[in-house]
Structure 1
Amino acid sequence: MSDKVALVTGAARGIGLATTQLFIEMGWRVAMVDQDADELGTVAAGLNDASPFVCDVSSPDDVDAMVSDVTRTFGRIDAVVNNAGVADFGPIEETDFARWRRVMDTNLDGVFLVSQATIPALRETKGALLNIASISGLRASTLRVAYGTSKAAVIQLTKQQAAELGEYGIRANCVCPGPVRTKLAMAVHSPEIIAAYHDALPLNRYGTEREIAEVITFLCSEKASFVTGQIVAADGGFESTGVGLPALRD
């Protein structure tokens, strides 16, 4: 068993929950962070070596209080996974400033705030920052003017963190998931959209939450001790070959 501690935001479901479960399998303890108190409490209750922390990552005061609670509870932080995000899609001409800010508040500001608040703890452990962006941050796609821009900014933020924090032994990397078979995706993707994604993916399928978690935990582990500033597309080859999804226009 390891004494290492991971802080995972957006941990109540999806990729965040899968990452939490995999860290625990690896012997880590996990601070599970989410703003959905009910769901977070339910899933955390079934996991040994995990503790829930309710936090809105877009609020500086919430983040500072959460990081203080985590360090007081565990005594250290070895990895931070900035996974919390919102997926608010819409046509560019229907994206008003309120929608833009709602996406940026969580997807970009939240990553910045949590990263800044945990730097002191990560300096102590020579730990790892792992930011979750998206394939939409690497290539433009329909209905994603706010979402895609926020994720592109996360990619640049990761590179900046790697450049400036490396002298402290802190590594910073970014994972860009492609289409992932989450409950939400399967609920909103029509058969036509699913077929279009399959056609655009060399592996001809959606990824799983577990597959993304495997990449995340690897980059946070000592196995990736000389890896920093990297942007890894875990996307079934989508970024390399995709040419657009007309089905999303409907």
Structure 2
Amino acid sequence: MRLKNKVVIVTGSCTGIGKAIAKRCVAEGANVVIHGLERDLGEALVADLGADRSVLHIEEITNEQAPQHLVDLAIATFGKLDAIVNNAALVASSTIQTTDLALFRKVLDVNTIAPFALLKAALPHLQAQRGCALNIGSVNAWSGEYGLMAYSVSKGALVTMTRNLGDTLHREIGVRVNQINPGWVLTERELERKREQGFADNWYTTLPPSLSPAGRMLLPDEIAAAAIYWLADESGPISGQIVDLEQFPVIGRFLPKL
């Protein structure tokens, strides 16, 4: 029970990586606040985890009061807050030609500003528990990707925020901030995106070695397993760190289009 009696907010946890992290947190002894936009999926997850171990909040993460609503719900339901996981993200296909200012601002709002806002709202409670924040970024923060211009920039900004706050908050009030950067993960949303792009349903089974040296993609449960270390006390005083979770070195590697 690596998270016994801890209380964790996981944004974007009705599906994908966030869902896997929330489930693993409960398995490790934590109580969790589930967040997202898909009420039916969120309610099903709470039913699976147990209403005594989880609670659901449905709201767009960029709403001005959403961070405070999440924090207030954690305190009202479980009495404290030990950690937050900033997982909610907008993955929007765009190049410089197709990215207008409205789209760019929307991506930054979800992927960079919302994590800052939640951390700021949670800070007094994290300080009281000497807790932590875990940001879920992307390897695109380092290398970018064709067709994910705005998304890659937003994740690069998240890296800088993690480095900055991971140092200052740790020094000043004992709150650790770290980040994991997943590579290509086989989530429900990724399956939907590829289906919308015209790919066959089994596209992920025939990936070239250049894209999946292991012969398969990363799975949400594998990201969740890594997340637990950063949320648990066993990560000790480590703060301001960025860890890439991918099958191959990212920086400088040429990748063909799928």
TM-score (norm 2): 0.89
- Aligned partners of 2:5 and 2:187: how far apart in 1? 31
Shift of 1:240: 5.3
Tell me which amino acid in the other structure corresponds to 1:57.
Answer: I
Maintained 8 Å contact 1:177/1:234: yes
- Aligned partners of 1:233 and 1:56: how far apart in 2? 27
Tell me which amino acid in the other structure corresponds to 1:200.
Answer: L
TM-align CA RMSD = 2.0
- Secondary structure of 1:162's counterpart equals helix
The corresponding residue for 2:236 is: 225
Cα deviations across residues 106-144 of structure 1 (Å, max 9, x unaligned)?
Answer: 111111111110011100111110001101111121011
* 1:93 matched to 2:97: yes
| From 11, 14, 23, the counterpart of 2:13 | 11
- Aligned partners of 1:196 and 1:143: how far apart in 2? 19
Shift of 1:184: 2.4
The corresponding residue for 2:145 is: 141
- The answer for unaligned runs of 5 or more in structure 2 is none
Q: Name the CA shift for 1:224/1:204 in 2 (closer, same or farther; >3 Å).
A: same
Cα deviations across residues 5-52 of structure 1 (Å, max 9, x unaligned)?
Answer: 111000101001100110111011111122333321222122121111
- Aligned partners of 2:189 and 2:254: how far apart in 1? 24
- Aligned partners of 1:72 and 1:186: how far apart in 2? 36
The corresponding residue for 2:28 is: 26
- Aligned partners of 2:120 and 2:87: how far apart in 1? 15
The corresponding residue for 2:63 is: 59
Tell me which amino acid in the other structure corresponds to 1:141.
Answer: E
- Secondary structure of 2:143's counterpart equals coil
The corresponding residue for 2:38 is: 36
Moved more, 195-204 or 33-42: 195-204
Maintained 8 Å contact 2:207/2:216: no
Tell me which amino acid in the other structure corresponds to 1:177.
Answer: P
Cα deviations across residues 122-178 of structure 1 (Å, max 9, x unaligned)?
Answer: 001111100011011111210111100000001111111111110322111101000
The corresponding residue for 1:166 is: 170
Shift of 1:242: 3.1
- Secondary structure of 2:240's counterpart equals coil
- Aligned partners of 1:69 and 1:91: how far apart in 2? 38
- Secondary structure of 2:250's counterpart equals helix
Tell me which amino acid in the other structure corresponds to 2:178.
Answer: N
- Aligned partners of 2:62 and 2:19: how far apart in 1? 20
- Aligned partners of 2:222 and 2:25: how far apart in 1? 13
**Which of structure 1's runs of 4+ aligned residues deviate more than 2 A?**
35-39, 186-198, 200-205, 244-247
Moved more, 189-198 or 222-231: 189-198
| From 177, 184, 202, the counterpart of 2:189 | 184
| From 119, 122, 128, the counterpart of 2:126 | 122
* 1:236 matched to 2:247: yes
- Aligned partners of 2:192 and 2:39: how far apart in 1? 23
Moved more, 180-189 or 226-235: 180-189
